[in-house]
Amino acid sequence: MARRIIIDSTTMKTINTLSLLLLLLIIPVLPMTAQEKKLFTLEDLNFGGYNYRNLQPENKWLTWWGDELIRTDVEACYTIDKKTGRETVLFTLDDINKWAGSNEDENRYVRHLMNATFPYADQPLVAVGNKQAYILVDFKKHQIVWQDSISGQDANDWNKTSRATAYVKGWQLYVTDAEGHKHQLTTDGNRETVYGKSVHRNEFGIEKGTFWSPDGQRLAFYRMDQSMVADYPQVDLFPREATYEPDKYPMAGMTSHKVTVGVYDMTTGHTVYLKTPVSKDTEAVISGTSADNLPAYFTNIAWSPDSKTIYMFEVNRDQNDCRLVSYDAVSGERLAELYRETSEKYVEPLHPIQFLPWDADKFVILSQRDGYRHLYLYNKEGQLLSQLTSGPWVVQEVLGFNEKQRSILITSNEANPIQHNTYAVNVKTGKRTLLDNGRGSHRAVPSTSGEWIYDKYTEPDVPRNIDIVNVKTGKGQRLLTAEDPWKDYQQPIFESGTIKAADGTTDLYYRMVKPNDFDATKKYPTVVYVYGGPHAHNVEAAWHWYSRSWETYMAQKGYVLFILDNRGSESRGRDFEQATFRQLGQVEMQDQMKGVEFLKSLPYVDADRLGVHGWSFGGFMTISLMLNYPDTFKVGVAGGPVIDWKWYEVMYGERYMDTPEQNPEGYAKASLLDKASNLKGRLQVITGYNDNTVVPQHCLSFLDACVKAGTQPDFFAYPGEEHNMRGHASVHLHERITRYFEDYLKLKIEN
């Protein structure tokens, strides 16, 4: 006789749960298929997108307190054990605000600690602040030891030795000393006479306009007279009645501004101006130099270790004659010319000299006079002692010095032209010691002594790693291995390789981005993304081969993307960079068309659906390619494009093209105005309505040329935006670019 088993509902639920758990143990957990993974949006990929930060590789914000490694965060600062990587709280945000006497939430003195710095290697002081003030807090004694109001200031420059602050307010230059006493250095500052700010439109590596001496008692500063420079008529259209907001913009071949360098002495309260050769009474100082060859640009200002002498590079307007000159900081007298470099094309100093910390009589110069940027050691009399590095590669940056090892820490691409690696260079022998794994793209920061570095790096398949490395032993401790933040998304295929340039010998590096479900038997619409100009590169041995996130968005929509660094781009040596001299766009186009030849050789590239896109110099290249090869490119989107180099600014334009009067053939060849009739495909031109880098005159003149030629480009402007779209406007911009290719390239619509 069968037995009946009665199970109540609670017991049944328990059995069901156990059965499910057993089933999960038996069935293997399978990874998500490509179809199950998420698709990207521009909110994920674009820097202005709402989800962008969540899809960036994990990072740690680090700084040095002497040789002590510190991690800064919103709510706290932590010390990091260099052997184990273990973190210990040093102090919290609440601590700082409590010690500052502002612990109330609505009146917190400090809002976060991400930007905290530790300016003194041997003192427990942290520098923090906000838009209103800057303070030094002793985190051992729990008290503020110094503070300074910075509300309303521009170009704020604080010196840790004297604790004096230089700043600009209402066009005037001021210095506030450590006791809070304010000293007004100028009275005639205005939009035409600018003090204490970057000059020469940020060319020559210039990023600021004030330069403290090592002892903090003297301040060198720029004075820029631009009263003679023509105004470009920018307009603010947002008020009820649009207002005139002119921008001083010196165009190639036209009148430029005049710069002088002042030196303010804190101990005397007096200012002297360096007696540079611009002054008529000192023209004879430069033997055999005509007035036309006198320096027009003053750059890379540096101080001697004893704070008595100022050094700077002086460059003539033709930018083919560069001199390193020393000046007496007390009298302003010109002391000596220590170094001179000339060229048939141009010389472009980008880095100030740096004195050896262990020998105040010697300094290093970065120069590419042998064809590649390398380190040269000089004594203070200007005598060359040795060339410290050499070879067909580039020193990209001097990171610092290791006094114990008597070495210079540098970044170079010696290992590979598209890599960034860290080396220690022995000053006595020139021997180089690799301080990283020899792969990828490394950004190292040395400690105060240079005995340690922290190394943030990526590789094509490594989102981000962070190591701390002992410079002497070369041994490191891993601090972070970031997971792939895109692991839950359908990722495109990223590839890199080389092709030959149009000269038949030079290797050019490219990146290719393919759809996630790429099928080599299919034909894909292909977009060439181009920049192509100096001081930039697009291909690097970094995560995803340095791919721009918009490329991922386009690959997801079924495109192949191709990016090539042509001759004229950076970090490949002098001849590679200067191949474009006096003929911007021509050599670059030849190389880009070699890339197109390569694309056409690939069976999966649809040669009937080739597009091109670029911004700034890349916008110039985009329209150049569309007009010079109208049967090749069916669709183009050009952002902020240069149309005619006679409308670009003096320093950049004349470096690469000379003046329109000196090089009429080069300007005519590069101009896109007389080629407007060549337009066959669909071209969208985009600009920031208030672009102060490539002024709107370029785009509008091109539209006028197209009207006269009877061709039909499309045009879009972003009101209030400058050369690059800021914030969420960038999301809108890239959706607009994408839609243009979707509308006119993807479906083979007849144009």
Please report the beta strands in 616-688, taking only residues with DSSP state E, as ranges in sequence order.
635-639, 682-688
pLDDT of residue 108: 67
In the sheet with 421-426, reading across from the earlier edge strand, the strands are 395-402, 407-412, 421-426, 432-434
Cβ–Cβ under 8 Å, residues 413 and 396: yes
- Cα 132 to Cα 134: distance, rounded to the nearest angstrom: 7
Nearest CA to 734 among 39, 57, 53, 48? 48
User: Using one digit for the tens of pLDDT, what is the confidence trace for 432-490?
Assistant: 999 999 999 999 999 999 999 999 999 999 999 999 999 999 999 999 999 999 999 99
Angstrom distance (rounded) from CA 117 to CA 127: 5
Q: How confident is the model at residue 384 (pLDDT cuts 50, 70, 90)?
A: very high
User: Among the options 112, 537, 723, 732, which is catalytic?
Assistant: 723
pLDDT at 17: 45
Task: Check whether 362 has a pLDDT greater than 60.
Answer: yes
Convert the pLDDT of each residue in 397-413 to its tens digit. Answer: 999 999 999 999 999 99
Q: Give the model confidence (pLDDT) of 196-231 as tens digits.
A: 999 999 999 999 999 999 999 999 999 999 999 999
Point out the least confidently predicted range of 227-241, 254-268, 272-286, 472-486.
272-286
Burial 105-136 (b: 16+ CB within 10 A, else e): eeebbbeebeebbbbeeeeebbbbbeeeebbb
Question: For 540-590, how does the pLDDT look when each residue is reduced to its tens digit (9 = 90+)?
Answer: 999 999 999 999 999 999 999 999 999 999 999 999 999 999 999 999 999
pTM: 0.93
First to last CA, the chain: 86
* Amino acid letter, residue 418: I
Residue 616 known to be catalytic: yes
DSSP assignment of 390-431 equals -SSS-EEEEEEEETTTTEEEEEE-SS-TT-BEEEEEETTT--
Q: In the beta sheet, which residues pair with residue 175?
A: 166, 183
Catalytic residue status for 488: no
Nearest CA to 221 out of 277, 265, 286, 160 is that of 265
Q: Which amino acid appears at position 190 of this protein?
A: N
In the set 455, 691, 698, 734, the catalytic residue is: 691
From the candidates 162, 256, 449, 616, give the one annotated as an active-site residue.
Answer: 616
- pLDDT of residue 319 exceeding 90, the answer is yes
- Indicate if 549 belongs to the active site: no
Residue with tokens 């010079």, as numbered in its chain: 628
CA–CA distance, 128 with 135 (Å, rounded to integer): 6
282 has pLDDT over 70:
no
Mean pLDDT check: name the lowest of 108-112, 261-265, 341-345, 615-619. Answer: 108-112
- Write down the residue that tokens 């839950």 correspond to: 488
Confidence of residue 101 (pLDDT cuts 50, 70, 90): confident
Angle, alpha carbons 274-276-281 (nearest 5°): 110
Calpha distance 547→551 (Å, rounded)? 7
Closest CA to 483 of 461, 456, 452: 461
Stretch 325-354: mean pLDDT: 98
Residue 536 DSSP one-character state: -
Segment 116-126, tens digit of pLDDT: 999 999 999 99
The distance from CA 221 to its chain's CA centroid, rounded to whole angstroms, is 24
* Distance, CA of 302 to chain centre: 22
